Structure 1
Amino acid sequence: MNKLIDIANLTVGYENKPNVLKDINLSIYQDDFLGIIGPNGGGKTTLLRTILGLIKPQSGSVTFYDKGEKTASINIGYLPQINRIDKKFPISVSEVILSGLTPGNNIFKRYSSADRQKVKEVAERLGIEELLSRAIGDLSGGQLQRVLLGRAIVDNPKLIILDEPSTYVDKLFETNFYKLLGDINKEIAIVLVSHDVGTIISLVKNIACVNQGLHYHPGTDISQEWLLNAYESCPIEILGHGSLPHRVLLEHDHQEGGSHIHQ
């Protein structure tokens, strides 16, 4: 299968926090559904921002491919954490999805009837066509996540990146949302970041744990030993819930944060 992205010897840091990521190597493929896990402060969001070109690495490279050939960039859709969205901003659902078609250098683009038809088709696919005229401030968390997913896929990207998509949504919506992702993955590669290790394992094709470095695991048959090695100083236990084991981070102290619990 063709590569979309090849990350080689990547080191990224900030002025007050050097080496947030250190010597990262990772390849993302055309049909990938890659789950990224790791502790808070481990560098997951920094990795996403570097792939999106929002952060310049200190060293190493991020190389993009189109049909097996190197290219300057590829079309990537992005679904941010919902708590970063200003729901008071006066914009409709239709306008939010349309904005996924706007080139970054032309915020005043006039949308065509074909663009609006595409938005309608995406909304129908995601079950939100009746919401198109509503303001985003009137939406529930689950509805807003579908709208943001529509924005991420409306421009037919090669890859979509989702940062903690199940935050602030109920479990029923979360289940339906992940079913949608499985359908979308038939056409588009997905990178999904989550703190919920159990959910990640049940969904994705491959796993990467980011904790300054990166541990990659092809497939999802993951042992507790691999997780312990990947998280290093962050203790993990396996909790049984019915027939499905969930791996969660226990309370611990981490260098970049205080004591915290992941569940």
Structure 2
Amino acid sequence: MNPIIEIEKLHVGYENKPDVLKEVSLTVFENDFLGIIGPNGGGKTTLLKAIMGLQAPSSGRISFFEDGRRVNHINIGYLPQINQIDKKFPISVHEVILSGLTLRGKFIKRYRAEDKQRVEPIAVKMGVEDLLHRAIGELSGGQLQRVLLGRAIIDNPRLIILDEPSSYVDKRFENNFYKLLDEINREIAIVLVSHDVGTIISQVKNIACVNQTLHYHSGSNISQEWLMGAYDSCPIEIIGHGALPHRVLLQHDHDH
């Protein structure tokens, strides 16, 4: 399977914290469904910023590919954490989904009639077609999540990145959301970041644990020993959760 992103020996940091990520290497493949887990402060968000070009690495390389050929960039859709969304902003569901399209035109950039016509089929796919004229402040967390997912896919990206998507949604609707992701994953690669290790393991194809460095596991049938090694000093316990084992982080502190 062809790669769409190759990360090689990436180092990323900030002025007050120079080694947030060290020697990180990772490949994301076409139609991949990659789960990224790791403790708070381990560098998950920094890795996303580097992939999306929002944080320059201090060393290493991120390469993008189209049909096996190296290119300067690929189209990436993004669903942010819910705490990054200003629900008081006066914007409709239709406008939010439409804003995911890249504006084209050399001088005056504006949405064309054919652009606006692309919104309704996406809204139908997300199950929010009856909400198009509603303000986003009137939506439930699950409705807002589906609207933002529509925004992330309307421009036909090669990859979508979901940052803690379970923070939006009532557990009653979570299964429906992951069914929707499975449909999307038939055409689009997905990177899903979550602290909920149990949910990630049950949904994704491959796993990466980010805790300053990166541990990659092909497949989602991972062992307690791999998790303990990947999280290093962060203790993990397997507990019963319905019919499935569920992994959770125990209370812990970080030195870095």
TM-score band, normalised by shorter chain: over 0.9
Distance in 2 (CA, whole Å) between partners of 1:107 and 1:128 is 33
Q: Which amino acid aligns with 2:234?
A: C
Structure 2: distance between partners of 1:207 and 1:144: 27
Q: Which residue of 2 aligns with 1:39?
A: 39
SS in 1 for 2:49: helix
Identical-residue share of aligned pairs (%): 70
1:79-106 Cα shifts (integer Å, max 9, x gaps): 0001100011111000011010034999
Paired residues of 2:39 and 2:211 also in contact (CA < 8 A)? yes
Aligned length: 256
Match of 2:184 in 1: 184
Q: CA deviation at 1:120?
A: 0.4
Distance (Å, rounded) in 2 between the aligned partners of 1:226 and 1:104: 47
Residues 197-230 of structure 1: CA deviation (Å, up to 9, x unaligned): 1100110000000000000000011000000000
Are the counterparts in 1 of residues 104 and 110 from structure 2 also a CA contact under 8 Å? no
Equivalent residue number for residue 204 of structure 1: 204
Give, in whole Å, the separation in 2 of the partners of 1:196 and 1:50.
Answer: 22
TM-aligned CA deviation for residue 111 of structure 1: 1.7
Q: Which runs of 5+ in 1 are unaligned?
A: 257-263
For structure 2, the residue ranges without an aligned partner over 5 or more in a row are: none
Counterpart Cα distance in 2 of 1:172 and 1:41:
29
Amino acid at match of 2:148: L
What is the CA distance between 1:172 and its match in structure 2?
Answer: 1.5
Alignment of 1:38-57 (within 5 A): 38-57=38-57
Cα distance, 1:113 vs. partner?
2.3
Displacement, 1:54?
0.2
Q: Identify the residue that residue 259 of structure 1 maps to in structure 2.
A: none
Whole-Å Cα distance in 2 between the matches of residues 94 and 218 of structure 1? Answer: 38
Q: Between 224-233 and 115-124, report the one with greater CA deviation.
A: 115-124
Aligned counterpart, 1:77: 77
Is contact 2:145–2:168 with CA below 8 Å preserved after alignment? Answer: no
Name the residue aligned to 1:22: 22
- Please state whether the residue corresponding to 2:182 is helix, strand or coil: helix
- Counterpart CA distance in 1 for 2:187 and 2:136 is 27
Matches within 5 A, 1:1-263: 1-103=1-103, 109-256=109-256
Please give the TM-score of this superposition, normalised by the length of structure 1: 0.95
Given that residues 162 and 192 in structure 2 are in contact (C-alpha distance below 8 angstroms), is that contact kept between their aligned partners in structure 1? yes
Residue-by-residue CA offset, 1:230-262 (whole Å, 9 max, x unaligned): 000000110012220000000111124xxxxxx
Q: Secondary structure at the match of 2:4?
A: strand
Q: Secondary structure at the match of 2:8?
A: strand
User: Could you tell me how far apart the structure 1 residues matched to 2:18 and 2:183 are?
Assistant: 39
> Match of 1:101, SS?
coil
* 3-state DSSP of counterpart to 1:100: coil
What amino acid maps onto 1:10 in structure 2?
L
Distance in 2 (alpha carbons) for counterparts of 1:12 and 1:121: 39
**What secondary structure is seen at the aligned counterpart in 1 of 2:167?**
coil
Following the alignment from structure 2 to structure 1, what is the Cα–Cα distance between the partners of residues 16 and 90? Answer: 36
In the TM superposition, what whole-angstrom CA distance separates every residue of 1:85-143 from its partner, at most 9, and x where no partner exists?
00111110000110100349999732222212211000000100001001111111111
Contact 1:208–1:216 (Cα < 8 Å) also in 2:
yes
Give the whole-Å Cα distance in 1 for the aligned partners of 2:151 and 2:255. Answer: 36
Aligned structure 1 segments of 4 or more residues deviating by more than 4 angstroms: 104-108
Instruction: Report if aligned partners of 1:102, 1:109 keep a CA contact under 8 Å in 2.
Output: no
For the structure 1 residues 175 and 63, does the alpha-carbon distance in structure 2 shift closer, same or farther, using more than 3 Å as the test?
Answer: same
RMSD (Å), alpha carbons: 1.5
